[in-house]
Amino acid sequence: MNTVTRFAPSPTGSLHLGAVRTAIFNYLYTKKEKGKFILRIEDTDQERSSQSSLNQILESLKWLGINHDEGPLIQSEKLEHYRNIAHELIDKDLAYKCFMTNNEIEKLKEVAAKEKKIYKYPRTWRNRKDHPEGSSYVIRFKTPDNHDIIFKDTLRGTIKVDSNNLDDFVIIKSDGYPTYNFSTVIDDAEMGVTNVIRGEDHLSNTSKQILIFGSLQKEPPIFTHVSMILGKDKSKLSKRNGSKSINDFKMEGILPISILNYLARLGWSHGDQEIFTLDEMIRLFDIKNLTKSPAIFDENKLKWVNAQHIKMLDNSELLKVIDVVFCEKINIDLALSVVKEKAKDLLSIKESLKFCQTESIKIGDEFKDEISNESTKKLISEFYKRVADIDTSNIDEIKDCMQSFLLEKDLKMKEVALPLRIILTGSKNSPGIFEIISILGREIFIKRVEDYIQS
């Protein structure tokens, strides 16, 4: 049997980390098994679903490189189909119309609360045929009595639920839209989904879905309910404790592969290995190595993973993602090689490369006191004349030139390197001074020093 999985987000907001992680697990498992990965948009919540959320989900998945083989399939485009199936279940006496109003339900809930009981729909309309004409109704599933609902979870083993603990749950709402539990089962059955990997918050839905699969005479897929992602305070991940959208991380300069790598490792492992390419994750992924222990999101660890992937990135690939236009004559390859060694994100790389984007630079007033005295100007003037006579593409030559100059003048490195760094880059935070000189090359080095001397 060919493996078929699906990722089925609801377009009710931006794509959150928990959803992305389940998408990654489904994607890796499908690619490992050479199966089909379906993208399905579950937009049956009329009030909360929006086109802008859908667009953001699609853009985020594309940016991450989680590419689907089929879809996106939109649930709201097949409402009539869900309704027809619900009415077929009514005809088979497996479902029924319920005309109970919201006010009636609220009163029953209030009574249950006063009696400190859990509200359960009292099956008022389960066997009634005196349907009021023209009145609003929902369609409820007829949950069987005294029935053990049994299903297997690859992480949690065999799970058994007593049907008496469930009420007659709604499958079609009064607005004509299907509920999640109904539409997801119909689509999984019709799309031939073989494996469902999703968050453990869906575990409570599974028993209801098993009943619907049975009513449709369809085999349910194999379920895997992975742990939730928690914040450092062990509470559910939210904006308060670190949750961000994928677009937030993109804007902060995190690489797509870093997010894939980090989130995959939250609940999956392969020995002690921390850093994976996408091909490695696909090749090594094993659903048996998922864990049901809660995963703790640590943004600092994500940034560490990002730093490792930046170091591994080929310079030609790095150049494509940083959107930096270099000044002519800059040693671009050396510049990229140097800055990526200490970078945690793409933003810090762009910041570190500012001195490479123009021939001349503006030195901020905050540095004037450190470079404006005549003795510093004299010192820098003497040193730059020596650099003008060497091969600036050779860092060893620059080092030798600096060392001999320091010995001759009986100076410490910082007495020359610090003002020179400011003069050449307009900043104290930049690559090493030897690398800076080599990156700029002789012509730009000379121009910037002469601009300083003549200022």
Catalytic residues: 239
Output the CA torsion sign for 256, 262, 265, 270: positive
Helix (H) or strand (E) holding 303: helix 299-312
How many alpha carbons fall within 13 Å on the CB side of residue 422? Answer: 19
Angle between helix 374-387 and 395-409 (nearest 10): 140
Query: Which of 267, 352, 281, 268 has its CA nearest to residue 310?
Result: 352
- According to DSSP, the β-strands at 138-141 and 170-172 are antiparallel
Q: Which amino acid is at 158?
A: T
Give yes or no for a contact between 401 and 387, defined as CB atoms under 8 angstroms apart. yes
Give 77's DSSP letter: G
CB atoms within 10 A of CB 130: 6
Reading the block at residue 79, the tokens are 């409402």
Cα–chain-centroid distance for residue 242? 13
Closest C-alpha to 193, from 218, 216, 228 = 218
